A and B are shown apart, each in its own frame.
Chain A
């Protein structure tokens, strides 16, 4: 993807957390990617690889150690607080746990209306009507508007959270594992709602998940993260058909297939995830990689792209 139609460009973002005794956790280490208008970029990786931190850093909810996020020609990580706040109208977030991301002391109406109240959009009546309409859109009845979050199921709450995220008509929404806490039966419902919203409103998603099937269902492009770095990024079909990075191959081989007749070769990774406090030198994946050679231990691989926009950070790609 070229930069001209990029909605949001993330450039060399790093987020290091300071630990005790001068230790540093490199949660996000030099990550770059771009999101186009109206597309869904899936972000997958195992627990603790820095997915959520990346999502929060992109929205400037945690301060980045280094790097920039370009939106509308400006680096939002360097904006003063007040200007950043005004931009949040256009950059929203959906959280993982719908049980904790709604204020228990606010009714559903108040929660959904909050972004309008914050930015002073419209008159009181207009705000009310927009909130009511958007709640109807996500499938809540009018009589439920005055209830409190704890009176709703997980799926309903997540739909409320989504309504809150889209009411200010954002261009870009970071979805941090939005369906991980939901039952499988409700999951599809929420995912379909998110896709409908995207079709109708042209909002772009950064969809963070550890569930490869979910990401495959919803994403246009997918980025794979390992130990704070993006190791592969590509259009959805390419990634699932021709995974380039050995880590992606291992991940994909772990997706369960709902058919007992198909026997597939499982790639079992050796060892444990190295500590992000002290990541391996060279390629971070070399300790667990079945193709690792001397070069991988010495030199960190750079992301290389082929003509289809498929990027892989591996020395031995296409060998």
Chain B
């Protein structure tokens, strides 16, 4: 029953958006969809997505290989640095670049910023796959007469493909649904156009229709990826600990490799940090409102905390059911909960705006509706965490508990949840982090008169007040960096320890939408 409620929460906005888009009648829909502008919009969005995804594959796989399999100098440090851009919200990076080089506005700026922010989605799962890939397979291939290069192509690459593909899917979905970076860099992709058409015109039907079109595209990409996925996997007999692989000696290429790693770190981390620092110092001389910063930080943490609590509470029944009972109804509920994966923040926000104006006037632009938006968007993160940690605690323990005279609910309370606790808590922390960085839904649904760090940053940057925006950006990065670092650290450790690893998707929803 609680699980059904969670599923309903997750699919409600999409359903209502469809209703709202249909209100204009079929002719309006056809007219909006057949505009030449719409065609260009689709092409620009898909072009950007393809470019960012390809670049992320190159950068992510390259860095993963260099930091796990070669004698790159300081490779441990680079390994940690390479994951850190996850902590930088795309709109903060966009702010850092455009405030320094206004000429970057448009495709190239958006491409650069999104690639720098999202390549860790490929990097992290590929690192995990490289660590747990069995080196004895490679050794067997070498002993059967294949060269090192041929072995890499024939044995190692196929083992990496599922991880890289999963990461690429995340990058593509992120790029399609990201609102902050394209808006600040003024590149007209779906999210930006939906927002401006919602803001600008009295008739909001076109915004709803475009939002539906965007959802159709993201769903199509998700389906295409899962269809093409190689379900074979690798067979491995026996348990045992995986030995670390042999290190490749780079020789003269060491300097080149190190230069490449430094360049990525410079673009993704050092430049944004430097730019932010510059504006902080510049802004410090100007008058600056400390109260406003504190109140923005407080409300950010406040609504995000509420979002994390509500989302996790909704996720627990779905996650437990999904991990324990594979019936058809349960699978349906679980898929419904995952709807948020394919729904861009701007779409959910728009749907809830329509819903709030029509049916929930009292909570429209009040905290509950914003928390509801967070729940819809981040339920997949929390469900994934609950499900994975419940699945890891052996079912046999629950059976033993039942045979000792303990009922289903008491067993859940005394055995399942205590064991899954750390995993569930990590999921909640991840949701908290993600809520803090969320921009479009917060922008549209925040309580009247309230500002969060993200919305202040957006407003100030939008009006060109870069120095005034700096403290908010810095505070946001500070708040977000600590949990991101801890979570990535825990993830890489766990992946290194266990042979089955952790689904990267469960742990890596660290980005902003």
Q: Do A and B come from one complex?
A: no
B interface residues (Cβ-Cβ under 8 A, vs A):
none
A interface residues (Cβ-Cβ under 8 A, vs B):
none
